[in-house]
Every structure is written in C-alpha cells, then in structure tokens.
Amino acid sequence: MIVLISIIALAILGLCSGLLLGVAYVQFAVEEDPKVKAILAILPGANCGSCGFAGCHGFAEALVAGKIDTSGCLLGGIDVAKALSKEMGAEANLKEPKAAYLLCGGGCQNASNRFEYFGAPSCKAAQAIGGGFKSCIYGCFGYGDCAPVCPVDAITMNEEKLPVVDVEKCIACGKCIKECPRDLFILLTKNTRFHVKCDSNDKGAVSRKNCKVSCIACLLCQKVCKFDAIKIENNLAVIDQTKCTSCGECIKVCPTKCIVQFVKG
C-alpha cells in the first residue's frame, strides 16, 4: 500500500509540474522575430558552424542584428548569399569562392624521416614528440587530423598519406587550417590553376635532402615567368595569383616538380 501511494503521489506531482511548466511557457514565451524565421528558411540548416556561430539560428540572429553580411554562410555559397540579400533588402556582397590548398607534396615516398614514430596516429601528437619525425620540419605527417574536422567531407587521404582537397566541395571554412599543427593549408580562389606544393624555407641543398619534391629555390621559375608572377621569398617560390596567367612555363622548368597544376572538373 505504501508503494502504491508513493507511485500515485509521484504521478500527481509530475502532472502538476508539467502543467505548471506548460503555463509558464505560454505566459513567458518570447515571440521570435519573423525576419529570423525567414532567414532560417533560406539557410541550408546543416548547423555546420563554418560561419563562426554554433548553428544556423545564431547566424540568422546575427544577420538580422546587422553584425554580419549576407555572404557569411559559407556552405550556402553564392546562391544563398543572393537569397539572403534579397530577403534583407541589401546589396549582395558576393565574394570570389575560395578553397583550401595543401602546401606539401612530400608524402611517404618522397620525404625522409628523422626517426621511426610509434605514437598515436595524430599529427598533433607526432608534432609534440621532438618536433616531429619528418626530416623536413615543414612537411605533412600524413595522419589526416584535417579530414574529420571538414564539415563537408572535402578532404580525403591518398596513397601517399597526403590530404587531398576536393576544391569544388570545399567551402573555405578554415577548420583544416586551424587543425593542422604545421599550418600546411592556405586559402586561394577556386580558379587557382598553378600552386607551389611546398612550404619549406630551408636552403636548396637541405630542402632537397629532406624531400625529393621540395622547392630548392633554384630561381628557374622566377626567371622564366614573363609576367613577374613568381618570386623566391625565404628560399621558397611564391606565386602571385593576381598576376599568374596560367601559361605553365614555370611547371616546365621546375626540376623537382613542386609546382603543380589543378585542372577543373
């Protein structure tokens, strides 16, 4: 009997609590801004966080409050930016789409190691052990810490244990940049066709010893470029994408083939 009375009492208490919460919800409910609802209807709804907010609702509220512009939804891209601009009655601030590009082409075959690593299969963990096992202090470890943080699954690992970015899928959120302990990703426009896959600032002889496909600062690419688009800076070839005409002469003369071409589609 005591058990039965306890169960009934708890049931009544739960029912009363539920009724009180229901009344409180109705009485103290805050009416959501209809503009926020309209913005949410346009957004992808993925809550990926690439915009810098915890989810789409936070982005919508910030947009209505005038804290960000309509191009802030990286996942939605140009189409969503246009729709948001129309909804907000603002001029579309359309930015040229960008993607992440890797600054390393060494991989497991071309780059040498200083010692054998038996630690956790993580780039950050490898970096913490004596600055990393790679002979090149700038090279990719190949454990792919960058891949799982990508909100659109644009990064996969190839047979050389190097990250491969699907430029078309990439939304330039920058999460891979933050995740990489060696800062081996850079954001460039999606129409980039020629890119230096190296980040070494070592002198040519040292760089070549550590990696067969590193930049050795030989100056050949700089000399052959008729448009002054390539300069050797800190022992590394750097392409000025605003000057590059994609003529391909730099690739022809590069002895280590560290300058690569991206073919769209």
**Cα atoms in the Cβ-side hemisphere of radius 13 Å centred on 161:** 15
* pTM reported for the whole predicted model: 0.80
Three-state DSSP at 64 gives helix
* pLDDT, tens digit (0-9, with 9 covering 90-100), for 120-145: 999 999 999 999 999 999 999 999 99
Tens-place pLDDT, residues 17-62: 777 776 655 555 455 678 888 989 999 988 888 888 888 999 899 9
Give tens-digit pLDDT for 79-104.
899 999 998 888 877 788 999 999 99
Positive or negative: CA dihedral 177, 178, 179, 180: positive
**222-250 mean pLDDT:** 96
Q: Is 34-88 a CATH 1.10.15.40 domain?
A: yes
Distance CA 24, CA 93 (A): 42
The ranges assigned to domains in the chain are 34-88, 98-261
Residue 7 pLDDT level (bands cut at 50, 70, 90): confident
Measured CA to CA, the distance from residue 265 to residue 251 in angstroms comes to: 20
* Residue recorded with tokens 């909804």: 87
Which CATH code is given to the segment(s) 98-261?
3.30.70.20
The pLDDT, as a whole number, for residue 26 is 54
- Residue carrying structure tokens 């959120």: 173
**What pLDDT score does 15 carry?**
75
pLDDT of the residue at 31:
58
